[in-house]
Copies of this chain bind each other. A is one copy, B any other.
Amino acid sequence: MRVGVLGAKGKVGAAMVAGVESAEGLTFTTGVDAGDPLESLTETNTEVVIDFTHPNVVMDNLKFCIDNGIHAVVGTTGFTDERLDQVRRWVADEPDACVLIAPNFAIGAVLSMHFAAQAARFFESVEVIELHHPYKADAPSGTAVRTAKLIAEARKELPPNPDATSTGLDGARGADVDGVPVHSVRLAGLVAHQEVLFGTQGETLTIRHDSIDRTSFVPGVLLAVRRIREFAGLTVGIEPLLDLS
């Protein structure tokens, strides 16, 4: 499979070029960056592009790919519902076009959320602890909030977490995300980590994800590249590619 990279000179893009080059069965065709013509994709017979660029340019990139029969695996941010609808209209006109847009390609993170949602119905209690480097601006992390919301949705017919706390200090019991306590640790020496703790009579189940390297998205992107042709139209998130059941 012939694979090009848009945003090839960015940190993430460079990691993707290296990832494609060392992956069995994939051939790197061309890297395109700001100012480079998109035509180098067609000239090199690129079959799939990986796009880690910028919200300003990603829509033009997608239009070009769809028009030229190139499948796209996209990690660029900024996809509002409107933008997703626009992409849906484009691919509707090109039945063979395959576009996958995902906010998170780290397979471990995606599996963590999936498992957390599955386990949520079976435990009396659940809490989320996310732990990150101290330079992070938001607390809780976006992933922790998404995880807590998925859990809350799965538990909506269950009684709330038991909690007899009657005296204490502000903040001790964490942030409340739809009834799920979320605790944010910020510690030098960490990168990005999350633990979901479930408990019931006499037992607990913990699902922990540790990401210690900015390249942890590479295997997920390569998986998407390899399977993109099986998913005609627009696919959001890599979960459908994981064949979970």
Once bound together, how far apart are the Cα atoms of A202 and B12, in whole Å?
13
CA distance A210 to B138 in the complex (A): 24
Q: With both chains docked as a complex, state the minimum distance between the C-beta of A93 and any C-beta of chain B, in angstroms.
A: 33
CB distance from A215 to the nearest CB of B (A): 5
CB neighbours (8 Å) of A212 from chain B are: 189, 191, 202-204, 212
Option from B169, B173, B191, B201 in Cβ contact (under 8 Å) with A215 = B201
Judged by a CB distance under 8 angstroms, whether A119 is at the interface is yes
Knowing A111-B119, A164-B134, A165-B136, say if A200 contacts B172 (CB, 8 Å): no
| CA gap between A198 and B216 in the complex, in Å | 13
Q: A54-112: which residues lie under 8 A (CB-CB) from chain B?
A: 106-109, 111-112
Q: For the complex, is A185 an interface residue (Cβ under 8 Å from B)?
A: yes
A242 and B119 CA atoms in complex are apart in Å by 9
Contact A184 B164 (CB under 8 A): no
Nearest CB of chain B from residue A168's CB, rounded to whole Å: 4
Q: Report the bound CA distance from A212 to B192 in whole Å.
A: 12
Residue A47 at the chain B interface, CB threshold 8 Å:
no
The chain B residue sitting closest to A220, CB to CB, is B122
Interface pair B165/A138, CB less than 8 Å apart: yes
Tell me if A176 and B169 are in contact (CB < 8 A): yes
**Size category, A interface:** 35 or more
Complexed CA–CA distance, A192 and B242 (Å): 29
Can you tell how many copies of this chain the complex includes? 4
Considering only residues 192-206 of chain A, those with a C-beta below 8 Å from chain B are: 197-206
Once A111-B118, A139-B168, A171-B174 are accepted as A-B contacts, the answer to whether A218 and B189 lie under 8 Å apart by CB is no
A111 CB contacts on chain B under 8 angstroms: 115, 118-119, 122, 205
A102–B199 Cα distance when bound, in Å, is 21
Contact among B107, B162, B165, B214 with A188 in the assembled complex (CB-CB below 8 Å): B162
Q: List, in ascending order, chain B residues with CB within 8 A of A107's CB.
A: 122-123, 200, 203
A-B contact pairs, 28 of them (CB 8 A): A106-B203, A108-B203, A111-B205, A115-B115, A118-B244, A125-B186, A125-B187, A135-B164, A139-B165, A139-B173, A140-B172, A162-B186, A163-B186, A164-B186, A165-B184, A169-B175, A171-B176, A174-B174, A174-B184, A188-B200, A188-B201, A189-B200, A189-B202, A191-B212, A201-B216, A202-B215, A202-B218, A207-B208
